[in-house]
Structure formats: structure tokens, C-alpha cells
Structure 1
Amino acid sequence: MAISQKLLNEGEHVIVTTRTHVKALFLPIIVLLVTLALAIYLGTFGDGTTGKVIDIAVWVIAAVVIVWWVVRPFLSWLTTSYTFTNRRFLARSGFIAKEGRTIPLNRISGVDFEIGVVDRIFGCGTLVVSDASEQGRVELHDIPRVEQVQLKVSDELHRLSEQRHDDGA
């Protein structure tokens, strides 16, 4: 899960790195179980050639459902990471086609968190990174231990702010 060292500049180190909470996989797991149960049940209909055709059709449909609603979300979860270094925020995702966003820490104006009732049960929440760009804010949903992440990032932003203030004085 940690970001590759080749993506870090000289003197840059990781403050915190995380990915979405595993609760993001609950729905795909339910879809997997329901799809398999339905496929097994529907595969019992028909005898002879008709039964084989029904069985093949059911399992082809089940495979498409599993790939689209189970494998794809799992790979997305597995290959997405959020990293704060002492210089920038990096969001990276993708297995074959990659996507990323980088925000320098000195452009981040605030890091907030939101925790709903369900999030509280699972120990996660939404981290909101506000910056000075046109997009304005990045919402990172279902971040594990979101309060600790927010605290670490806020401490680093404060340290960076003091360092800039001391250098300018």
C-alpha cells in the first residue's frame, strides 16, 4: 500500500498513507454471494440439452456480474492510495490505466473530517482536503482512522506554516 520510493523527491518522506476502509468491499461481497447462490439455484433447472444451455447461460451471466460488480471494485480498492508527504498530497489509482492527483502542501488551506453514524461504527470517515485550486476540495471517503490522519496532516501543515514564517522573518 505504501507509495513507491521512486515517486518521492529527494528529502521527501511519507507522513501518512492510506486507502479506503475495507467496508467499501461489503457490497461487492454481498453481490458475489447472491450471484453464486442464484447461479447455483438457476443451474438446477432443465434436463438434457436444455439444462446445459440454461446452465451455460446462467454461469456466463454470473461471470459478467462478478467481474463488473465484484472484481472491478476490488481492484479499484486495492490499487487506490492516498499519501501525504512532508511536501505534497498524492492520490493514485489504477492497475493498468493509472490516474493521479498531486497537491503541494503549501497550497492546502485546510484538512477537515466528517464522520457519519455508520462510519463511526466502522472507525472511518471522510477526509476533506481544501486547496487553492479551481477544484477547491478533494473528498476522500471511508478513510480508516480519519481523525488520526487529519491530526497528522494538520500537524505537518502547521509545521510547514511555521517554517515558512520563520524563513520569511
Structure 2
Amino acid sequence: MPYPDKLLADDEEVVRHLHPHWLTLVRPVLLFLLVVGSASFGAALVPPGRQQGIYRLVIVGLAVLLLLFLVVVPLLRWRTTHYVVTTHRLLFRAGILARRGRDLGLSRITDVSYTQTLWERVVNSGTLTIETAGDGGPTVLHQIPDSDRVQQLLNVMVEEDAERRARESAGYIRGDEDWPPRDGWGSTEVL
């Protein structure tokens, strides 16, 4: 079962699954090119002789270590960071070996805002700040692709969740099988 489907309840569906913005990968790619180019150039500069193989092996070993820390770790960090909007909650998961996560029920979300610098507007990225009912403080999600639309989506999902809960509680109280009422009250149109 693919991630995040294994985390979902029976009546829950994924609305949007995101990773941090692709620009977070630009630096590791540029560092990859720089390290490989420098290691190749350095290996070519090693003078011929008995120690040439050892020197080249040391250069390759250093390049591999640099690639591991400067390229592979950031790529894995990007790949293992998930922002998932479902019909019932917002899920955040991050971490390669040690993991951290947070689940925010849509019913607990009181405010969703986003901020973008000029550069983030150009590349369509931003920071989401999600306020919830409780003492946990705001949840801040950085480098969210299409942050303004994700903010709008979350606001719509919060409203739909409130309407769904109202229908469920009213239907349960009344015992109505025929919900929503035919008079048009409680319309469930999506913008």
C-alpha cells in the first residue's frame, strides 16, 4: 500500500499530496555538478607515479563523502517530506531515519494563511501558517509549492468538513436518511 494511503481511515481520501517545492533540489544538483567536476579535474591533475592510484582513490573517496552529505541527504530529505491534505485532516511527515509528524484535523483548523517573498511569487512557492484550536501553537510549513492555492484548498476543505459534520450530527439527531433537506438548506456546492 503506497504512502500515504496506509495512514487513511476507511472514509478518508487524499485530496492533495505535496513535497517541498522543487527549487529545494537546485542546490544539491548544483553541488553534485561542482563536486563531480572538481573531483574529475583533481584526479586528472595527479602526476604520474607510484602513488597516482592512491591519490586518485583519496580524491574519489572525498568526493563520495561530499556527495553523500551535500547531495544524497538533501534529496532523501525532500523525498521523505510529505504534506498531505485529506478529506478529514492535514498530515505532515518528515525525516529519513528519525521521523516526525503531525496530524491536524480539519475541524481543529481555525486559520490558514500564506506568505510569499517576491522570489517565491516568481517560482510559485511560499510558507503556510496554520492556526489550530488548542495550545500547540501555529504549524508553519515552508517551501510549499503553489502555496496560495493550497491555502484556498485548505479553507474549502475546512468548510466542507464542518458541513459534513453538521449533516452527520443533524442526520443522527433526526434519524433522517434523506439528508440534505430538499428545501435547499445545507447546500453542499463546492466553489
| TM-score (structure 2 length as normaliser) | 0.78
Partner of 2:10: 10
Q: Secondary structure at the match of 1:41?
A: helix
Partner of 1:89: 90
The Cα shift of 1:71 comes to 0.6
Partner of 1:52: 53
5+ unaligned residues in a row in structure 2: which ranges? 174-191
CA contact (8 A) 1:3 1:83 kept: no
Partner of 2:123: 122
Highest RCO, 1 vs 2 (Cα 8 Å, sep ≥ 6): 1
For 1:85 and 1:47, the matched residues in 2 are separated by 61
Q: CA RMSD in A?
A: 2.2
Q: Secondary structure at the match of 2:128?
A: strand
Partner of 2:37: 37
Of 127-136 and 64-73, deviating more is 127-136
Q: Secondary structure at the match of 2:9?
A: coil
The question of 1:76 aligning with 2:77 is answered yes
The Cα shift of 1:39 comes to 0.6
Cα displacement string for residues 120-151 of structure 1 (whole angstroms, at most 9, x for unaligned residues): 12111111122234441222111111111111
For 1:118 and 1:130, the matched residues in 2 are separated by 25
Between the two proteins, the alignment pairs up a number of residues equal to: 168
Of 89-98 and 141-150, deviating more is 89-98
The Cα shift of 1:42 comes to 1.2
The question of 1:141 aligning with 2:142 is answered yes
Partner of 1:131: 132
For 1:29 and 1:163, the matched residues in 2 are separated by 45
Larger radius of gyration: 2
Q: Secondary structure at the match of 1:84?
A: strand
| TM-score (structure 1 length as normaliser) | 0.88
5+ unaligned residues in a row in structure 1: which ranges? none
For 1:56 and 1:151, the matched residues in 2 are separated by 53
Of 69-78 and 121-130, deviating more is 121-130
Could you list the runs of 4 or more consecutive aligned residues of structure 1 that deviate by over 4 angstroms after TM superposition? 162-169
